[in-house]
Amino acid sequence: QYVSSILLCAPYAATQVVLELTGGVVISQPYIDLTIAMMKSFGIEVERVVVEGKASNTYRIPQGMYINPPTYNIESDASSATYPLALAAITGTTCTIQNIGSSSLQGDARFAKAVLEPMGCTVIQTETETTVTGPAVGQLRALGFIDMESMTDAFLTAAALSAVATLPPLNLPAGSTISTKIGGIANQRVKECNRIDAMRTQLAKFGVKTAELEDGIEVFGINPNELKSGVSVHCYDDHRVAMAFSVL
């Protein structure tokens, strides 16, 4: 959000702005790409500087004025879409989300294909639409390991589903523990709350064991009928915690 705010206002600066991102791996690159694509639709072409044939983390923004295109389609919110899709996954039903598909630049738009499909869901996706059908109740697969760096906000939804994912991942080596390890989400410790700790603390109330990783969480799924009932979830005034646990 900080990067996008600078990119968006840069064309109106008194001199040309060159924005360099430092400090290692850039988190949530898809959202930067989304901002740049939107700016191009309004007439401002941001240049991502190429160094030795590789795209760098430096952006050159030309001075100029935005010009309204005749029409501009605003996609559905891919992060919010993960919850109804997850409800289909966990209940063995079908859900279709319009205005989010394979052409979307939003990081969380990958959730259906990268998370739900490996968990055993049937995913049908066009450029602008996503349909998910869940397996029978209790038949979700654990993911083994998944890097969710490009869709960090969706990790809470994945963690809630992983709580009842008991079937082994495909191609799991013999003797391996059945679990879901979610990595690449260290930044979720400094969101509206420490979301990794929040998921661990609240999943424990349901009888679900977890472990904290350096950059993520490991969830050991149990059968849905083994979940403790009558649980009161503390949401930390964080909407994503509330919505993720509504799925469970």
Q: Are 41 and 68 in contact (CB under 8 A)?
A: no
For 50-83, letters b (16+ CB in 10 Å) and e give eeeeeeebebebeeeeeeeeeeeeebbebbebbb
Residue 70 to residue 77: CA distance in whole angstroms: 22
Instruction: Quick: pLDDT tens for 174-194.
Output: 888 999 999 999 999 999 999
- pLDDT value for 111: 97
> In whole angstroms, what is the distance from residue 11 CA to residue 1 CA?
17
Distances (CA, A) of 107 to 41, 134, 244: 19, 22, 18
Q: pLDDT tens-digit profile of 21-40?
A: 998 888 778 889 999 999 99
For residue 1, what pLDDT is reported? 87
Element (H, E) at 48: strand 47-51
Residue 175: per-residue pLDDT = 81
Other C-beta atoms within 10 Å of 215: how many?
17
- Reading the chain (248 residues) residue by residue, the pLDDT tens digits are 899 999 999 999 999 999 999 988 887 788 899 999 999 999 999 999 999 888 899 999 999 999 999 999 889 999 999 999 999 999 999 999 999 999 998 989 999 999 999 999 999 999 999 999 999 999 999 999 999 998 999 999 999 999 999 999 988 888 889 999 999 999 999 999 999 999 999 999 999 999 999 999 999 999 999 999 999 999 999 999 999 999 99
CA pseudo-torsion sign 10, 13, 15, 21: negative
Beta strand 122-125 with 180-183: parallel, antiparallel or unpaired?
unpaired
DSSP letter (8 states) at residue 161: H
Contact 182, 216 (CB under 8 A): yes
Q: What pLDDT sits at residue 26?
A: 85
Q: In terms of DSSP bridges, do strands 47-51 and 54-61 run parallel, antiparallel, or are they unpaired?
A: antiparallel
Burial classification of residue 134, based on how many CB atoms lie within 10 Å of its CB (0-12 exposed, 13-18 middle, 19 or more buried)? buried
Task: Record the pTM.
Answer: 0.86
- What is the distance between the alpha carbons of residues 77 and 98, in angstroms, rounded to a whole number? 10
